[in-house]
Amino acid sequence: MKAAKIMDEIKKYIREVPNFPKPGILFYDITTLMQDSIGFRLAVSSMEKYVSSRGATKIAAIESRGFFFGGAIADRLGLSMVPVRKPGKLPSETISEEYDLEYGTDKLEMHKDAINDGDRVVIVDDLIATGGTLEATCNMVQRLGGEVAGISTVIDLSFLPWREKLAAYDVNYLISYDSEEA
């Protein structure tokens, strides 16, 4: 299927929920994509193609919606899968990165032994908004000796300024929204 057709098709399965999780936020819900076996497979297949084209040796998937896609892609390609988690969830020795939210900061962690020198890592999440979550993950992958071979998401919010933050990386997404109107 052509890229434009895939985009139209996948958009049909995304549910737009106004005022979630708080007033003024339009939430792009990927559970409706996953609930449809054809939609989910189309998204995973498209992301798999990208990950494969980047010569990845590992996938790092971001908690929690990145896990659904990252796990499926890793299994298809026979790659290892590294979870990037919220603080206090990983049981062994970790490194962490703090990043800015609209109000305040948040933190992500990875196991220290999850990435080896020379690993080519594609980072997977459901959506890019400001890019802070992905930037923090890129930093951790590099601190552990890995190379960021690419970033793969389902959704891009193109009206938010993530491009500057992630300028050093190859970014691929399946669908874009260019305004916050439902």
Binding mask 45-84 for ligand AMP (x = CB under 6 A): -----------------x--x-------------------
- What's the farthest any 2 CA atoms get from each other in the chain? 44
Site string for ligand AMP, 83-112 (x = CB under 6 A): ------------------------------
* First-to-last C-alpha distance (Å) of the chain: 26
What is the size of the binding site for ligand AMP (CB under 6 A)? 16
Least spacing, CB of residue 158 vs ligand AMP, in Å = 12
- The alpha-helical segments, DSSP class H, found in the chain are 3-11, 31-34, 37-53, 65-77, 132-143, 162-165
127 contacts ligand AMP (rule: CB under 6 A): yes
User: Using CA atoms, how far apart are residues 25 and 103, in angstroms rounded to an integer?
Assistant: 14
Task: Decide whether 74 or 151 has the Cβ nearer to ligand AMP.
Answer: 151
Q: For the segment 11-30, give every residue that binds ligand AMP (CB under 6 A).
A: 25-28
Is there a contact between 42 and 5 (Cβ–Cβ < 8 Å)?
Answer: no
CB-based contacts of 171, cutoff 8 Å, min separation 6: 128, 150, 151, 153, 156
- Shortest approach of ligand AMP to residue 78 CB, angstroms? 26
For the beta sheet containing 147-157, the strands, ordered from the edge strand earlier in sequence to the opposite edge, are 80-84, 58-62, 120-128, 147-157, 171-177
Binding part of the chain for ligand AMP, among 52-60, 76-84, 123-131, 168-176 by CB under 6 A, reads 123-131
126 binds ligand AMP (CB under 6 A): yes
Question: Which residues of this protein are in contact with ligand AMP, per CB under 6 A?
Answer: 25-28, 62, 65, 125-133, 162
